[in-house]
Amino acid sequence: MMSKFRFRLDSLLRLRKHQEDGARLELAEAQRKVLGATMELETVQAEKSALSLELAQATYPTVTLLQAGYARAHILRGQEQASRERLACAHAEEQVRRDEVVVAHRARQTVQKLQERFLERYLQELRQEDSRFSDEVGTGMAARRIQQRTFGRGEIL
């Protein structure tokens, strides 16, 4: 009887799964950063729109109000540019993490396919062993029948 199936590279497969899970977590973190940067940009753009509307609706704006408004608009433009840059960096990092997930998935899949091949080979050998055993049993039974027919008449060798 054959021994129980054991994949010798099982620790490698577990490592590949762990690496893939880690890469997925890093991708999720990168996606969270993209979401945060997007929300930050939208907040700055909303502030900028509100300021523009406030300045446009002022019926008798004073010079001080206009100067403060334009100074605030200048600051918001700088914040918007910085937010856009952070968003671009976050998107780039997200793409890198996505590529890492793909690489880790392929590495795990390669080892997993190897495991499937080894298991199929093991099952094939097991079927062959069962077939050989059945052949031996059948051959033994046939030999006993022949022996009984030949020697069953009281003949002794």
pLDDT tops 80 at residue 154 = no
| Per-residue pLDDT at 66 | 85
Q: Which residue has 């918007």 as its token pair?
A: 80
Residue 48's contacts (CB-CB under 8 Å, 6 or more residues apart) are: 73, 76, 77, 80
The pLDDT score that the predictor gives to residue 133 is: 84
Percent of the chain with pLDDT over 90: 59
CA–CA dist 138, 132 (Å, integer): 10
Encode pLDDT of 104-152 as tens digits: 999 999 999 999 999 999 999 889 988 888 888 888 787 777 777 777 6
For the 11-150 domain, the top CATH level (class) is mainly alpha
pLDDT of 83 strictly over 60: yes
State the average pLDDT over residues 81-88.
Answer: 97
The pLDDT value given to residue 2: 67
**Cα–Cα nearest to 20, from 110, 119, 91:** 110
Q: Which range is most confident: 50-59, 66-75, 143-152?
A: 66-75
**Around Cβ 155, how many Cβ atoms within 10 Å?**
7
pLDDT of 1 strictly over 70? no
